[in-house]
Amino acid sequence: MMRTVKTVKEMAKIRGDLCKMNIIGLVPTMGALHEGHLSLIRKAKKDCNIVIASIFVNPLQFGPKEDFKKYPRDLEKDSEFLKLAGCDILFSPQSGDILGKDLGTSVHVEGLQSVMCGASRPGHFDGVCTIVLKLFNIVRPGNAYFGLKDYQQFVIIKKMTDDLDMPVNIIGCPIIRDRNGLALSSRNAYLSKDDYTKAVRINKALREGSRLAGLKKLKAGEITALLKKEYLKGMKTDYLGFYDADMLSLFDEKKKPSGKLVLAGAFFVGNTRLIDNIIIRI
Ligand code: AMP
């Protein structure tokens, strides 16, 4: 019997249900894999029949003064890691293959980029979205897995797929940390011993910020000032603030907050830029 579908929402749901019969999970990465990446693979393994991981150091998301050239690359080791984690397909295209000769299209998500990493890395998220969209079109996954460590990236990709009715579920996965609380990152490989000692204070600061916010005695600006003074000495703060977790607008004490806030920051420890965040439920 033929079924008639009259709404976008219902059509999207039916297509989603059909996808679930043979669901492909995609985990996009830039390689130099660690437990944070592998946690996404494991989650995808639980949800999907086939897991595809991509490794592509995307030149479009690096600024001219950023670390594109020296970004750590070790495809052989990554490939072993992925095998052990049960990944079914590793997709590692060459730059020219995925970018083409004359890429003339860039994907821009409006409205979520004037703060946080978007403010200090102009064009970064356009580069991310353009490549993620290309990966989605090449792989056509039913689910795609992203770490909440890159919180703004997660929100922007979710918005892109919602805005464009893309038939893919965006799944956010928790931040994996080392035993001292430092969020795992491929860039942690750049840290000297001294830098590492400083870097572990980032998560301590965010947790203290979350605690202080819960006490409701201090204003957001007072809390971030205190964290910079007490915990984040010896590193340059790129940004640190409380943001609405959905809209990413800077938290405004005068307005009633919606459900969740995110306390997020980026810091230069030596020359290494590290990001971290913590979700605060109100
Ligand atoms: P990257 O290779 O840095 O582009 O990261 C690829 C994916 O892994 C992104 O979705 C990141 O958010 C995620 N990721 C990176 N580090 C972590 C971590 N420590 N915990 C969870 N997810 C992570």
Cα R_g (the chain), whole angstroms: 20
pLDDT digits (tens, 9 = 90+) for 57-85: 999 999 999 999 999 999 999 999 999 99
- 225 and 117 belong to one structural domain: no
Tell me the mean pLDDT in the region 25-43. 97
Residues with Cβ within 8 Å of residue 249, at least 6 apart in sequence = 115, 243
Choose the final residue of a domain: 117, 148, 173. 173
CATH of the domain at 150: 3.40.50.620
- 87 and 42 belong to one structural domain: yes
Nearest CA to ligand 1 atom 17: 36
Q: Give the pLDDT confidence score for residue 1 in this predicted structure.
A: 82
79 by Cβ neighbours in 10 Å (0-12 / 13-18 / 19+) ranks as middle
- 226 and 90 belong to one structural domain: no
Choose the final residue of a domain: 145, 173, 201. 173
- Domain range enclosing 210: 186-276
**Ligand 1: centre distance to CA 154 (Å):** 10
- The answer to whether residue 160 is domain-embedded is yes
3-state secondary structure of 1: coil
Nearest CA to ligand 1 atom 11: 147
- Tell me which of 13-17, 184-188, 261-265 is least confident: 13-17
Total tally of structural domains belonging to the chain: 2
Q: Give the pLDDT confidence score for residue 19 in this predicted structure.
A: 67
Mean per-residue pLDDT over the chain, rounded: 94
141 in contact with ligand 1, CB cutoff 6 A:
no
DSSP character at residue 217: -
CATH of the domain at 220: 3.30.1300.10
CB 30 within 8 A of CB 92: no
Strand-pair category, 169-173 with 50-55: unpaired
Is residue 34 annotated as part of the catalytic site, yes or no?
A: no
pLDDT digits (tens, 9 = 90+) for 163-199: 999 999 999 999 999 999 999 999 999 999 999 999 9
pLDDT at 118 over 90: yes
pLDDT digits (tens, 9 = 90+) for 81-108: 999 999 999 999 999 999 999 999 999 9
